[in-house]
Structure 1
Amino acid sequence: MSMFDLQDRLRGAVSAFVEGAIVSAEAIAPRLDLLRASGWADEDAAADVSHFVHRLAGTAGTLGFGDLGRTAGALETLIADIGEVRLAEGAAAVAPDILAQADLLADIILAGLKGVAVGGSDLLAAAMTPAPGLAGSPDPAVVATIGAGPALLDMVRATGTTAIEIASPDALEALSVVCPGGVIVNLEAMDGDDAWRGPLDGLRAQGVPVLAVGGTGDFPWGLRACRLGVDAYLPLDDPGEVLDRLARMRLTRHAEPLRVLVLDDDAVLAGVYATILGAAGLEAEGMTDPAQILERLEAFEPDVLVTDLHMPGCSGAEVAALVRHRAQYATMPIIFLSREQDLGLQLGALSPGADFFLPKPVRPDFLVSAVRSRARRGRGLAEMMRRDGLSRLFTHSTILDGLEREGARAGRTGAPLSFALLDLDHFKAINQTHGHATGDQVIVTLARVMRRALRGCDLLGRCGGEEFAVILPGTPAEQAVGVIEDLRALFRGQTLRAPTGEVRATFSAGVAGTPAGAPPLSATALFTAADKALAEAKARGRDRVVLAES
């Protein structure tokens, strides 16, 4: 969304508020008259007016009418105070000057609603921060290195990636024109960290992941990496792990946009928040009915939920508790928006499972920062739960879900779909001969080769033990056999060094697929067909790929 689009949408929201202001004043005036006539004692009228000024405080403040929002908030607080005094000490205990203050605030609000104008909004004049722009899309075939050393440079280049060695902060700053796919910083080989911080921040703002390596991994080295502002830090023990980590960081940075679901019973506010978040590069959707929350969560699959705390019929705290009852949303961050000032009530609202509390009215830049950081962590945690701890590939259940999803997509589009099962040959013997640590190294090596050799859209998984899986969307079965054959040859050429000597490993594979335009096979049918083909590959002597019979 361009800056002009953002301004147009926000101006539309402000204009809608202004157009409805007089109508709102006329609608609430009779309830205010009744409340005043009762000496601010009529409980039903007090509840109606309190709800009105509560919404007005949030809406007016967010749309840039700060004085009107603050006045509405003051009246809301005063109504609550009057009610508490009447309940505790009786009507006579309410001081006349307090009632006079309430009358005055009500008059100011009515006058403010009737005199509000689009030009009086601070929101339209405020500088909005656009989403970080790229000098060009980060190129995964280019990696910038600072003091990487021969071993790491050789491994980078062995993958077909261009390694650009950077000797100075000025050279790094100039690199923004190239926009590399990542930056590797060797802490042991660089000096003058302060001079490097600015250029690194500039690349990170363009979406380029920065990984620091070197040292022993203890606190001083980790703290130094943090002060450089890098995205992650690893000791330089295994160059292969460094490349894998950088690849995972790149996928995370340039995956689909973070998704945000905004729930507010005020349609204007829900739309404004969604617009501001969308302008910052997030995919945001607004909604007003809490009763639809489960349906929208399932359909939209957000990374974070932002919800108003005080809503009629169902509070934000109740929404949070309801959402947390569903195991699939256990890691999804929930952020409350409210004018609530009482710290005890804020903490109580967080107890059902929310993660953060944003006060209304909220500054757009603060809203974007708070939402984006929590959405990233939420997505990262959810991603960790979907992956195997050793190989960092998807788990068996995640692969089955992906196979169902890709099968449904293939059925809708008519595109081909292939699925492969891989099994390490003689893996038990490797463990017995060379030890389980070496067996783990074989698993990690195969996972690493799979990540480098296959496409970003392919889903890679470890189904348990020595069995792996690959989902290849848009790929005919015959072509998938060639892909897995190339993978087999690449893995076969890997040499691992163990205390007992050099170790080489192979795998057998079975491939099954749905041809283009053919009725889609179920996930179970594809899995079964690939499993039978895998058994056939083993029966024929292992270290081969077999295509399932169609």
Structure 2
Amino acid sequence: MSSKLEQKINEFRQIFSQEFPEKLTHLLGLWKLAQHTQQLKDFKSFRFEIHSLKGSSAALHYLKLSELLGQIEQHVAKCETHELDLAVMTPLIDMLMKNLLESMQQSPNALLEVQELIRSPTAVSLQDLNSEPMNLNLKSHQKISIAIVDEDQAVGSLLTKLLSTFGFVINHYASIQALKADLEFRKYKLVLLDLAPPQFDNTEVFALAKELTSYDADVFILSSIDSFDARLLAVRAKVNDFLLKPINITTLVSKIRKNFKIDLIRPYKILLLDDQAAVGVFYKTLLESQGIEVLVLTQANQIMTSLEYFHPDIFLLDMHMPDINGLEVARLIRQQAKYDYVPVIFLTADNDTMAKISALEAGADDVIPKDTSPDLILRQLDSRIQRSQQIRFAASRDSLTGVLNHGQIMEAASHSLRMAARHIKPIVLVMIDLDNFKKVNDTYGHIGGDKVLVSLGQLLQQSIRETDYVGRYGGEEFLVVFSDADSPTIERKMNSILAAFQHINFTINEFDFNCSFSAGLASSENYDKLSELIGAADIALYQAKAAGKKQVWVDSI
């Protein structure tokens, strides 16, 4: 844990210690009231405050205090359900409350002693045991350097050319020895290793794969062998991926982008719901220390409004809140299809097995006790978010180009139009269509067409802001949504993108060619409905085509 974060946590502990006597006085008053009235609502109020204090103390690792509060909560729960007569329970609760009061007179207060929880191996999830050390920083998004090791010169040269067109820096080696001789002077982020047919001894290949981990290089095996033994050896050598020959270049590019998490969104965004403001501030501080963006809510009814502008990678919910509990919030979230792949995790002071089962049944993905160490909380969240982003990316993206698929770009356009109307900040839609794309496919085959589509998709993706969206509308058509934009600015931007695209040189079977596109754009200043806005951009696109292609036209309503 960083010294800065440790300092911040100690500040929270100091504030808690200072406020503890006042909180205890308040608790005593609630308990006396419940005893006097014997009303269910008063017992619930007392129990709720006990539970909240238990959660705060667990988070700060005042485990003795948390345990004592937990005992009180259990006894009060029995009063609520009438499992035992109040006359039996009152002396027990009185005795425990007396222990709390006596602790205030001690210096130092034994209950405010920081302790680290030691969990048995069975209490740790498989995810905890298997997760790698926490790394909240993505590998570089700059050009990825790749080494190809393949003794077949023709195959190696072809793969080098194909991958180079996708922006990767490639070097081909005809042997393992040649690569080894270069490793001291040249660093690679990825090495593609050819696995020879079964009659050859591949021991050296797997030994190199394992050795490359010391150079901080990832490894893909490219193999014509599809056997359990080969795949097991690859796993044991810590190989990142295992691809079968013949290699589909778009599949390989997709695997590389996934491996380096190029398409994952940072910083992470977490929506934290906890009715205790102090708890929210504590976890916000913890998470923001790792560069995570956190929105803290103290009331459940704030969620729907917040989701209009804040799109979380994970929901972090408190289990127990007044008026509505975390389980109900989880079910409310799961009612909405767009959050199907967004993890819901409960932070709770409860270690009861039935509470965890209830959380999972409500649609939660995990339950993390509040007394879990900060480092482990961060690791669990990091693991969950990365996995969910990969699933969401696969579900929302066009499998070839990596931009949003038709359904998702339409949803993004609809959302942007609603936000534009609410904040009176117009959006501009741009409809793009590749020129003479059929001729490209007929002349250079589908691999040529695929390269053009992927290149345009990635160029558009790299040219937009975080608040904009690009998606594949269908076939060779793309749709771009620019938020808070005006037509003249976007027209200039699209002309700049068009000029850049026309300079991209495509090579297929030693033949070089270039491509262009036509585009039509329309502004929401002139249209209220999405169908009308898309229709206007479409008409402008056809006008660009009719005027000679390779140009950008603006809707002229």
TM-score, scaled relative to structure 2: 0.74
Letter in 2 for 1:235: L
Letter in 2 for 1:546: Q
For each residue in 1:47-67, what CA deviation from the matched residue of structure 2 results, as whole angstroms up to 9, or x when unmatched?
Answer: 333223222222111102111
- State whether structure 2 residue 432 is matched by structure 1 residue 421: yes
- CA apart distance, 1:316: 0.4
Distance 2:253 2:304 in 1: 39
Map of 1:269 onto structure 2: 279
- CA apart distance, 1:328: 2.5
3-state DSSP of counterpart to 1:509? strand
Unpaired segments of 5 or more residues in structure 1? 124-128
- State whether structure 2 residue 372 is matched by structure 1 residue 381: no
- CA apart distance, 1:327: 2.8
Map of 2:243 onto structure 1: 234
Letter in 1 for 2:348: S
- State whether structure 2 residue 59 is matched by structure 1 residue 62: yes
Letter in 2 for 1:121: V
Query: Quick one: structure 1 residues 55 and 131, their matched pair in 2 at CA, closer, same or farther if it must change by over 3 Å?
Result: same
Match of 1:155 among 155, 162, 179: 162
Map of 2:255 onto structure 1: 245
- State whether structure 2 residue 17 is matched by structure 1 residue 18: yes
Residue pair 1:536, 1:546 contacting (<8 A) in 2 also: no
Letter in 2 for 1:77: Q
Distance 1:187 1:358 in 2: 43
Match of 1:51 among 48, 53, 67: 48
Map of 2:321 onto structure 1: 311
Map of 1:138 onto structure 2: 140
Letter in 2 for 1:12: E
3-state DSSP of counterpart to 1:300? coil
Letter in 2 for 1:422: D
Map of 2:100 onto structure 1: 109
Unpaired segments of 5 or more residues in structure 2? 117-131, 151-155, 197-201
Distance 1:140 1:200 in 2: 21
Distance 2:256 2:229 in 1: 22
- CA apart distance, 1:533: 4.4
Map of 1:444 onto structure 2: 450
Distance 1:412 1:32 in 2: 49
Query: Quick one: structure 1 residues 174 and 257, their matched pair in 2 at CA, closer, same or farther if it must change by over 3 Å?
Result: farther
Residue pair 2:195, 2:205 contacting (<8 A) in 1 also: no
Distance 1:173 1:3 in 2: 33
3-state DSSP of counterpart to 2:498? helix
- State whether structure 2 residue 325 is matched by structure 1 residue 326: no
TM-score, scaled relative to structure 1: 0.75
Identity of aligned residues (%): 21
Letter in 1 for 2:10: R
Query: Quick one: structure 1 residues 331 and 133, their matched pair in 2 at CA, closer, same or farther if it must change by over 3 Å?
Result: closer
- CA apart distance, 1:363: 2.0
Residue pair 1:334, 1:354 contacting (<8 A) in 2 also: yes
- CA apart distance, 1:366: 2.2
User: For residues 357-396 of structure 1, what are the structure 2 equivalents within 5 Å?
Assistant: 357-396=367-406
Residue pair 1:399, 1:460 contacting (<8 A) in 2 also: yes
Give the RMSD, CA atoms, in angstroms: 4.8
Distance 1:153 1:384 in 2: 26
- CA apart distance, 1:345: 3.6
Query: Quick one: structure 1 residues 470 and 295, their matched pair in 2 at CA, closer, same or farther if it must change by over 3 Å?
Result: closer
Distance 1:44 1:244 in 2: 57
Map of 1:477 onto structure 2: 491
Deviates more, 1:19-28 or 1:245-254: 245-254
Letter in 2 for 1:162: V
Query: Quick one: structure 1 residues 11 and 356, their matched pair in 2 at CA, closer, same or farther if it must change by over 3 Å?
Result: same
Deviates more, 1:304-313 or 1:267-276: 267-276
3-state DSSP of counterpart to 2:195? helix
Query: Quick one: structure 1 residues 232 and 417, their matched pair in 2 at CA, closer, same or farther if it must change by over 3 Å?
Result: farther
- CA apart distance, 1:318: 0.5
- State whether structure 2 residue 149 is matched by structure 1 residue 121: no
Residue pair 1:146, 1:165 contacting (<8 A) in 2 also: yes
Letter in 2 for 1:234: L
- State whether structure 2 residue 338 is matched by structure 1 residue 294: no
- State whether structure 2 residue 360 is matched by structure 1 residue 353: no
Query: Quick one: structure 1 residues 463 and 11, their matched pair in 2 at CA, closer, same or farther if it must change by over 3 Å?
Result: same
Deviates more, 1:101-110 or 1:450-459: 450-459
For each residue in 1:461-515, what CA deviation from the matched residue of structure 2 results, as whole angstroms up to 9, or x when unmatched?
Answer: 3212343345689965356335335535647x55489xxxx9999675234478x
- CA apart distance, 1:313: 0.9
Query: Quick one: structure 1 residues 392 and 337, their matched pair in 2 at CA, closer, same or farther if it must change by over 3 Å?
Result: same
For each residue in 1:238-258, what CA deviation from the matched residue of structure 2 results, as whole angstroms up to 9, or x when unmatched?
Answer: 245323432355454663211
- CA apart distance, 1:311: 1.3
Match of 1:188 among 189, 195, 200: 195
Count of residue pairs brought into register by the alignment: 512
Distance 1:374 1:478 in 2: 41
Map of 1:126 onto structure 2: none
3-state DSSP of counterpart to 1:104? helix
